[in-house]
Amino acid sequence: MSKSDIERMARELRAGQRVVLSRAITLIESKRADHRRTAAALTQELLKDTGKAVRLGITGAPGVGKSTLIEALGSMLTAQNRKVAVLAVDPSSRRTGGSILADKTRMAKLANDERAFIRPSPASGTLGGVAARTRETMLLCEAAGYDVILVETVGVGQSEVAVADMTDFFLVLALPGAGDELQALKKGVVELADMIAVNKADGDNVARAKLAAAEYSAALHILTPRSPNWSPPVITCSALSGDGVPELWAHVLDHRDKLTASGELKARRGEQQVKWMWTMLEERLFEPLRSDRALKAALPRIEADVAAGRLAPATAAEQIAAMLAKA
Q: Read off the pLDDT of residues 113-128 as tens digits, 9 standing for 90 and up.
A: 999 999 987 766 667 7
Q: Which domains does the chain have, with CATH numbers?
A: 1-49 (1.20.5.170), 51-264 (3.40.50.300), 276-326 (no CATH)
Tell whether the model's pLDDT for residue 142 goes beyond 80: yes
Average of per-residue pLDDT values in the chain: 87
Q: How far is residue 44's CA from residue 111's CA, in Å, rounded to a whole number? A: 29
Distances (CA, A) of 102 to 9, 92, 145, 208: 27, 11, 24, 31
State whether the Cα torsion 10-11-16-18 is positive or negative. negative
DSSP, res 59: E
Q: How far is residue 314's CA from residue 306's CA, in Å, rounded to a whole number? A: 10
Write the pLDDT tens digit of every residue in 315-325.
999 999 998 88
pLDDT score for 147? 96
pLDDT score for 288? 84
Tell whether the model's pLDDT for residue 182 goes beyond 80: no
Tell whether the model's pLDDT for residue 2 goes beyond 60: yes
**Alpha helices (H) in the chain, listed in sequence order:** 3-14, 18-29, 33-46, 66-79, 93-96, 108-111, 127-143, 159-164, 180-184, 187-192, 206-221, 245-262, 264-291, 293-307, 313-326
Q: Of 98, 169, 170, which is closest to residue 130 (Cα–Cα)?
A: 98
Average pLDDT over residues 64-74: 93
Which of left, alpha, beta for 286 (phi over 0: left; psi -120 to 50: alpha)?
alpha
pLDDT score for 88? 87
pLDDT score for 73? 97
Q: For strands 54-59 and 148-153, give the pairing.
A: parallel
Q: Kindly report the pTM of this predicted structure.
A: 0.87
pLDDT score for 99? 45
For 121-135, 149-163, 204-218, 225-239, which range has the lowest pLDDT when averaged over its residues? 121-135
Tell whether the model's pLDDT for residue 178 goes beyond 70: no
pLDDT score for 223? 78
Confidence class for position 186, pLDDT limits 50, 70, 90: low
Tell whether the model's pLDDT for residue 181 goes beyond 80: no
Average pLDDT over residues 29-53: 92
Q: How far is residue 292's CA from residue 156's CA, in Å, rounded to a whole number? A: 30
Longest dimension (CA), the chain: 65
Q: How far is residue 245's CA from residue 201's CA, in Å, rounded to a whole number? A: 11
pLDDT score for 96? 46
Residues 123/85, Cβ–Cβ less than 8 Å: no
